[in-house]
Structure 1
Amino acid sequence: MVDDTYSTQTAIAVSPSMEETQRVRLLFCLVVAIFKAATLLFSAGGLLRDPDNWWHVRVGLDMLSSRTFPTVDTYSYTFAGNPWIAKEWLGQIFFALAYEANGWNGVTLLTIAVITLTVFLLAWYLSASLRPTVAFGLTFLLSLLISPILTARPLVFTLPIIIVWTAELFRAARREETPPLWLLPLICLWANLHGTFTFGFIIAAFAGLDFLARTRLSKPAVLGKWIAFGMLCPLVTLLNPYGIKAILATFTVAYGNEAVSYIDEWQPFNASDSYLMEGFLLAALLGLLVSKLQIGWAKALFLLFNLHLLLTHQRFCYLFVLLVPLVLAAEIGEQFSWVSAQRWAKGHRDQLEQFLASHFHSISVATSVLLVFTAAIFSSVSQVEPDPKTSAKNALSFAQQHNLSGNVFNSYNFGGTLIFHGIKTYIDGRTDQLFLNGFMKKTMSAGNSGGRPILEEQLKTYAIGWALLATGDSRIPFFDELTDWRRAYSDENAVIFVRKR
């Protein structure tokens, strides 16, 4: 009896409290987020590698100065006056404010802050079902897999939102509860940040199906609230400067957009270009096959839907990589005790976990101060610039020095920098709404074998005064052959052609 009492008292003494468990969990999430932030600070230039970084900042700056939202194109001469809306207006203003505060360093730091928040939230929700060490490792792997889409574009602002949106809806379904109404302002915010907000409707529908699969019509009142929530989602997203136009604009990409087949990020997934992603997909498939994980038909459909998006357009890799583990984590933790957060919470803390729990406040303050200090040093010492492959910095300096005038014929990847510098483009990255109706297809065919007559027609039709081309542009040999054009400038990233006088 004495021994049993002593064992019970000892177990109570060493059994971790809920507060201690939450502290350990929180610190693991903070550590993985700060570790990701540190890696991004040391490779900050990679966040400005996309040609669209330029024009998103410029559009934001112009909205701040004009206090108006654009409704027609004013940045190109080929489609000037055509309907165009800045459906990502809020994200563009955020970037513009960061740029006004500290140039491209400010844009980079803002992007890193949002990614850090995303990583923290992902780790937090995963660690609700998986033990912290497993959630830590999985979170870092997943954040590494989505690196290709981590650039200073408005899409990055939606990553924390989609994590919270998905996790909370599927958690409500799992608990057979009504969806939280506070999520509605969240999707309204999403609608003003990026056009992917319509995926929020689809995610909510899958969560509703999961609720239906669990309850089987046994809770009609709650089911009615799920239906009402689903109907409210598109209504609250109308609270944006463009109303229904913001929703309709998403369909110009999803259906029949001729530019999709020419843009790398819209291409189907290619395993030969991403061995890490291929390995992740194969490992995930192997795990599902051998583990006998039971997930229910609704979540199985959700997995297949996101896999379809990934295989169709590689830019949607982040949906599969982030959301599928997030949605399946509850079943994994429930069915495999060795990774279960609940079992971990009831067990004894090891020395590291005891240290983290007992020094929670000091570690939190120290890591926060260290991160802020590192960011301040980065901001004052480093000078981040966009990728030279998209900036054409020296080429544009040459154009300015030599007073090159007239309409410019530019490579697609130089459209953003031209907009930023106030030069109207021939084509740029706004192909979700512009440069359609055969224009993109014809422009790209000018670089094919036998495309010289098409190029000559375009130069004449649009009264081209000079050309700014990327060094790998397949139309450069045609320009070299044209008798009334000459190469005026070239470097490792850009070539300029001008008309002979």
Structure 2
Amino acid sequence: MLQIQASHEAAPLIDDNRRARLVFCLVAATVMAAALLALAASLLQDPDSWWHIKVGQDLLASRTFPTADTYSYTSAGHPWIAKEWLGQVLLALAYKTAGWNGVALLTIAVVALAVFLMSWHLSAWLKPTLAVGLTLVLALLVDPVYIARPHIFTLPIIVVWTAYLFGVARSELAPPLWLLPLLCLWANLHATFTFGFVIAAFAGLDLLMRIRLSNPRLLASWIAFGLLCPLVSLLNPYGVKAILATFTVAYGNEAVPYILEWRPFNASEHGFQEVALLAVLFGLLVSRLQIGWAKALFLVFTLHVYLTHIRFMYLFFLLVPIVLATEVAEQYPALSLAKWMADKRDGLERFFAKWFYQICGVVGVLVVGAIAVLTSAYQAEPSQKTSARDALTFAESHHLSGNVLNSYNFGGSLIFHGIKTFIDGRTDQLFLNGFTKTDTEMGRSGGKPILQEQLKKYAIDWALLTADDSRIPFFDELGWKRAYSDKYAVIYVPGA
């Protein structure tokens, strides 16, 4: 009788603990959303956002999936697939609904969701206060990836995918089949879905480390899940081509070294991240945290991918803490959720639990109010560093037409405005066979003959260059006329 009474008394406490956790995680998501709302325009400064939206618009209009390039004249007709078609459609729908404000709001909402999920999964093992604080620091570290492009939609997915797979491996259970539709969604949103295969493999290794060969049936279920992953990923408009496209970039795409986001980690440019990396390594060495060889390999893998290509910094900073949270909680109980649940609730936590629904309502009102303010009183838009808005207005008013030689950063805006490009951000599939290398060499010392050759080869009728484009002096020397210039862009036309 006493045991039954004790269990009934414990139930409200469990509910209170869960509610307090939820509020902590909602606070983390709200803080992140508020910070991004204050800097909404910064989410729109990537030149590729323009062409992603345009591709999404064209997909909605034509209801067909492209298989060849129609957006440039230098690679026209070459094989090209919109492998991130669903992410592009979502961006196009957001733009159609509320312009660039809609795109910014959608991006903010997805990042806030990822922060909520991150803090929720970390707080399943660590104290909620620690989980929330750690999540916000990690979210700040990966700030460079918060841009309005299709990869942003994968952040919540990769958090859930990693947390559940390593969670069931630790519990020595079969992987849940509901994760497969999530992988299918991922495969249609962005090409990084192949990381899902790798994460599943590392989780399987973690299980193997725990049970060895003692449970063949369980191991068979994991092998079957691993085989189903690539099969489920084929459920996209391009089938196996979408998978092959990711490996083409990862293993030898010649244009990759010339694109900033694909370059290796540079400590002089990412000092904050360097400090974080050194702090993580110092902490692991000093704490002597025991994580097992499978998770150690996962840490090394994510670190390798990050140091090789800075665009993948989020794999290390977001996923490694999720994977190691269980060991931290077990080996340092003072930091664990169990310790927090056993402690007497403080005033703030009791307040969160008691007024849970009211707090959720207030948060909802604040979010709706912030959205209303952003959409009515503030107009977020890309900088002219990528839009060349005034320069393109000049080009249209002066009826400039024909083949344009453009700076890389203006390629997306040109596509958006229906002007075929010389080069743009689709270098993972196009502008190969030395093209991107030649484009880079045109602006280097001694590049004038190369530029002159390209002008003739592609019958260039005008040029749209960023104000700091290193080819500008060569155009002057070749007798081209500067028809327009501002602090963002320069337009050249052939001299008389």
Contact in 2 for aligned 1:16/1:347 (Cα 8 Å): no
Distance 1:431 1:15 in 2: 57
Partner in structure 1 of residue 481 of structure 2: 486
Partner in structure 2 of residue 465 of structure 1: 461
String of CA shifts for 1:431-485, please: whole Å, max 9, x gaps.
01000011111111111111111100000000000000011111111001012x1
The yes-or-no answer on 1:351 pairing with 2:334 is no
String of CA shifts for 1:174-205, please: whole Å, max 9, x gaps.
00000010000000000000000000000000
Distance 1:387 1:227 in 2: 48
String of CA shifts for 1:21-67, please: whole Å, max 9, x gaps.
00000000000001100111110000001000000000000111111
Alignment of 1:132-211 (within 5 A): 132-211=128-207
- 1:474 pairs, out of 461, 470, 473, with 470
Contact in 2 for aligned 1:15/1:348 (Cα 8 Å): no
Contact in 2 for aligned 1:16/1:345 (Cα 8 Å): no
Distance 2:414 2:428 in 1: 18
Contact in 2 for aligned 1:130/1:329 (Cα 8 Å): yes
Partner in structure 2 of residue 281 of structure 1: 277
- 1:239 pairs, out of 235, 241, 252, with 235
Partner in structure 1 of residue 122 of structure 2: 126
Unmatched 5+ residue regions in structure 2?
Answer: none
Contact in 2 for aligned 1:16/1:348 (Cα 8 Å): no
Partner in structure 1 of residue 292 of structure 2: 296
String of CA shifts for 1:279-337, please: whole Å, max 9, x gaps.
11111111101111010000000000001011111111000000000100111011111
Distance 2:296 2:235 in 1: 33
Contact in 2 for aligned 1:14/1:348 (Cα 8 Å): no
String of CA shifts for 1:249-286, please: whole Å, max 9, x gaps.
11221111121111111111111111211111111111
Going from structure 1 to structure 2, the CA distance change for 1:352 and 1:315 (only over 3 Å counts) comes to same
Distance 2:342 2:81 in 1: 54
String of CA shifts for 1:410-433, please: whole Å, max 9, x gaps.
000000000000000000000010
Unmatched 5+ residue regions in structure 1?
Answer: none
Scaled by the length of structure 2, the TM-score of the pair is 0.98
Partner in structure 1 of residue 249 of structure 2: 253
Distance 2:266 2:77 in 1: 38
The yes-or-no answer on 1:441 pairing with 2:437 is yes
Partner in structure 2 of residue 305 of structure 1: 301
Distance 1:97 1:354 in 2: 42
Distance 1:46 1:190 in 2: 25
Question: The residue matched to 2:268 in structure 1 has which SS?
Answer: helix
Partner in structure 2 of residue 374 of structure 1: 370
Amino acid at match of 2:337: A
String of CA shifts for 1:90-111, please: whole Å, max 9, x gaps.
0000011111111111111111
- 1:26 pairs, out of 12, 15, 22, with 22
Q: CA RMSD in A?
A: 1.5
The yes-or-no answer on 1:394 pairing with 2:399 is no
Partner in structure 2 of residue 70 of structure 1: 66
Partner in structure 1 of residue 319 of structure 2: 323
String of CA shifts for 1:60-90, please: whole Å, max 9, x gaps.
0011111111110000000001110000000
Distance 1:422 1:12 in 2: 66
Q: Matched residue pairs, number?
A: 493
Question: The residue matched to 2:464 in structure 1 has which SS?
Answer: strand
Identity %: 65
Partner in structure 2 of residue 497 of structure 1: 492
Partner in structure 1 of residue 47 of structure 2: 51
Distance 2:328 2:20 in 1: 21
Partner in structure 2 of residue 428 of structure 1: 424
Amino acid at match of 1:348: K
